Amino acid sequence: MRESDNLMDRRGFIRRAAGAGVLIATSALPVVADEETPAIAADVFPKRGQYERLSISYAVVEIGAERPFSVLHISDTHLTAAYAHENDKKQQLCSSRTTTFGGHQEEALRDTLAWARQHVDYVVHTGDLIDWQSEANFDLVRKYFGDTLVGSMGNHEFSTDMWLSDPKEEKTEAYKDNTRERLQQVYPFDVCFQSKVLHGVNFITLDNVYSYVTEKQIELFIREVKRGLPIVLCMHVPFFTPLIWRASMRFWRDNGPMTYSEVPTATGDFLIQQEDIVTRDFIRYLKTEPLLRCILAGHEHITVEDQFSPTCREYVVGGNFLFCGREVLFL
Ligand SMILES: [Fe+2]
């Protein structure tokens, strides 16, 4: 049996094992006691209430659900933990990247999940839950989600050691293959592609962490379309509209202001979506697919939304490390 067959077998098993009728029911999330996580720093809004640091935005999607339900969409938590026994690279990254992301990522995750348990029915996470691979980060994934998480990979999930990675990071399937099996053992959902039907709505999560999609994923997507249910597509990198690209560049580009009408030249992820033929054609097709009703994405660390197609609105959520999330009510 080929290694890929083994992987597919296990994915099939995981899909069946996780297919007990939930997306990520908040009632099934592990309860994490406050004392198990870092104390709220005294210098971060010390007199505010438990959830007042959260930055929650809202959306309503009329999708034809069998009954109304709500989902908390979060993304980009960027956990940066390492155990003392892990190697020097992990210690270096822990120090450097904890500074980068503010050091409150675990608190943000804990508070958003606690809020979700009280306020919404389900949670979806669209990737970069961890900043790079470490035993400590993987244990946090298990601690907060147990076997309940459904979501998608982010580009950082595949990063062994960021700029210290050996082999060096490449935006290819071959690079992902180096650690795909390990990630599949930690994350309790199919890391490549998964479908979960919830109240008559088909939530499809897929790995597009380097912006492109594969022919295999498209084949699986088309199979799901044939079920005839309205679709919510959940993935890490947005499928860029001019407005979402413009908003992303306003945030990330450091060469001054843009006029309101200016759409910056496509580079990076947006360029890949235009130049990779498989991905380009898939996006063109999606814009004509009436069953596609909503896209949930992250990656950019900003909250922005736009109309993707006549039937589909795309929502990008800000970084969870910034205490962001979006409640989406499906009607
Ligand atoms: Fe991110």
| Contact of 302 with 49, CB cutoff 8 Å | no
Q: Which residues neighbour ligand 1 (ion) by CB within 5 Å? A: 76, 128
Q: How confident is the model at residue 261 (pLDDT cuts 50, 70, 90)?
A: confident
Non-local CB neighbours of 242 within 8 Å, separated by 6+ positions:
263
pLDDT of 233: 98
By DSSP bridging, strand 324-330 and strand 69-74 are antiparallel
CA dihedral 56, 119, 62, 278 (to 10 degrees): 60
Q: Tokens 């009510």 appear where?
A: 329
Distance 236 CA to ligand 1 centre (A): 9
SS3 326: strand
Ramachandran category for residue 78: left, alpha or beta (phi over 0 → left; psi -120 to 50 → alpha): left
Domains of the chain by residue range: 3-330
| Cα angle value 111/196/109 (rounded, 5°) | 10
Residue 197 one-letter amino acid: V
Which range is least confidently modeled, 42-46, 119-123, 299-303, 310-314? 42-46
If one compares 33 and 118, the residue with the highest pLDDT of the two is 118
Q: How confident is the model at residue 14 (pLDDT cuts 50, 70, 90)?
A: very low
Distance 302 CA to ligand 1 centre (A): 10
Distance 255 CA to ligand 1 centre (A): 21
SS3 218: helix
Distance 162 CA to ligand 1 centre (A): 13
pLDDT of 51: 85
Distance 154 CA to ligand 1 centre (A): 7
By DSSP bridging, strand 122-125 and strand 69-74 are parallel
| pLDDT tens, position by position, 274-312 | 999 999 999 999 999 999 999 999 999 999 999 999 999
pLDDT of 222: 98
If one compares 305 and 22, the residue with the highest pLDDT of the two is 305
Distance 2 CA to ligand 1 centre (A): 33
Distance 292 CA to ligand 1 centre (A): 25
pLDDT of 8: 41
Distance CA 234, CA 274 (A): 20
Distance 64 CA to ligand 1 centre (A): 31
Buried b (16+ CB within 10 A) or exposed e, 107-120: bbbbbbbbbbbeeb
Distance 11 CA to ligand 1 centre (A): 25
Distance 245 CA to ligand 1 centre (A): 16
| pLDDT tens, position by position, 227-247 | 999 999 999 999 999 999 999
Distance 308 CA to ligand 1 centre (A): 21
Give the helix ranges, DSSP H, for 187-297: 215-225, 242-252, 268-275, 277-286
Distance 15 CA to ligand 1 centre (A): 26
The dihedral sign for the CA sequence 302, 326, 188, 201: negative
SS3 11: helix
Distance 301 CA to ligand 1 centre (A): 6
Distance 67 CA to ligand 1 centre (A): 32
| Contact of 98 with 321, CB cutoff 8 Å | no
Distance 31 CA to ligand 1 centre (A): 25
Report whether pLDDT(30) > 90: no
Distance 6 CA to ligand 1 centre (A): 30
Percent of the chain past pLDDT 90, that is, above it, reads 76
Pick the CATH number of 3-330 from 3.30.750.180, 3.40.50.2300, 3.40.1370.10, 3.30.300.30: 3.30.750.180
